[in-house]
Amino acid sequence: MTVMTIVASARRTICITFVCFSFFSSGIALGQAEDPDPHRFDVEIQAFASWDAKNAFPEKPVVFVGSSSIRFWKTGESFPGVPVVNRGFGGAHISDVNTFISETVLRYQPTMIVFYAGDNDIAAGKDNDQVIEDYMEFLDMVLASNASVDVVYIPIKPSLARWTMWPQMAAANKRILDYSKNYNNLHYVDLASPILGDDDEPREEYFIEDGLHLNPSGYDAWTEILSEFFESFEW
């Protein structure tokens, strides 16, 4: 199956939040789901700090951040020659990534960030406005630290376990894609389409038993496409 990788570019400004709200929605919907307590991840975040205290990390790395789809990805093995730092923590919402952005992203002064989150947000009852708002907050903080950093958005993936939520997930992805097309350092790399088979449903052979997380074959499909994207950059 031929998979098209969509790469959209973006140049950002400090007024990103105002632009985002004007573009995406006229207001925040009532009855939004509450953010979970981010401090449930205190142990994981401290483990990152402990590792960093004992080990060197590359200069100007590519930081992978987000939920378990990032955490379980063997990024160091998958992208030899790319200075990777993996700071995924399983079960994370975008709001959690935002809470710990200094510890998991900014401290490394990355040249590129690969982002995957939003999956757990929608599963917990958050609507697309919340997902977009939180992602824009993430971008605000990242670009305030370094306006030229490249940010790669990996779209929320279709899965067997959350297939009934796919229409909402796909709609959130589309909104971020449409926004990103207008600028030059935001990128949308389509790793969602390869997960779907010829019947436009999730390919069972790409998932572990829970029907939610990818197995090595699923990660191989992701790695192939993202590797092609990385080829346009010098490390």
What is the CATH number for 177?
Answer: 3.40.50.1110
112-116: strand order across its sheet? 84-88, 62-66, 112-116, 150-153, 186-188
pLDDT at 33 over 80: yes
pLDDT at 5 over 80: no
β-pair type (150-153, 112-116): parallel
pLDDT at 32: 76
Read off the pLDDT band of 203 (50, 70, 90): very high
Read off the pLDDT band of 196 (50, 70, 90): very high
The answer as to whether 223 is a domain residue is yes
The answer as to whether 1 is a domain residue is no
- Percent of the chain at pLDDT > 70 equals 87
As for how many domains the chain has, the answer is 1
Mean per-residue pLDDT for 185-200? 97
pLDDT at 234 over 90: no
pLDDT at 76 over 60: yes
Mean per-residue pLDDT for 207-223? 98
pLDDT at 125: 97
Mean per-residue pLDDT for 54-65? 96
Q: Please answer whether residues 195 and 206 qualify as being in contact, where contact means their C-beta atoms are separated by less than 8 angstroms.
A: yes
CA 142/CA 106 separation, integer angstroms: 7
Q: Please answer whether residues 139 and 151 qualify as being in contact, where contact means their C-beta atoms are separated by less than 8 angstroms.
A: yes
pLDDT at 21: 41
pLDDT at 23 over 80: no
Q: How many residues does this entry show for the chain?
A: 235
**Prediction pTM value:** 0.89
| Start-to-end Cα distance in the chain | 30
Mean pLDDT score across all residues of the chain: 90
The answer as to whether 23 is a domain residue is no
pLDDT at 15: 40
pLDDT at 14 over 50: no
Instruction: Find the range with the poorest average confidence among 19-33, 87-101, 140-154.
Output: 19-33
Q: Identify the domain containing residue 205 by its residue range.
A: 57-230
The answer as to whether 159 is a domain residue is yes
pLDDT at 6: 45
Q: Please answer whether residues 143 and 105 qualify as being in contact, where contact means their C-beta atoms are separated by less than 8 angstroms.
A: no
The answer as to whether 66 is a domain residue is yes
Cβ neighbours of residue 108 under 8 Å, at least 6 residues apart?
A: 57, 61, 63, 85
The Cα diameter of the chain in Å comes to: 48
pLDDT at 235: 80
CA 212/CA 129 separation, integer angstroms: 23
The answer as to whether 235 is a domain residue is no
The answer as to whether 9 is a domain residue is no
To the nearest 10°, the Cα dihedral for 142, 144, 148, 152? 20
Q: What is the pLDDT of residues 160-188, one digit of tens each?
A: 999 999 999 999 999 999 999 988 999 99
The answer as to whether 211 is a domain residue is yes
To the nearest 10°, the Cα dihedral for 121, 147, 64, 68? -10
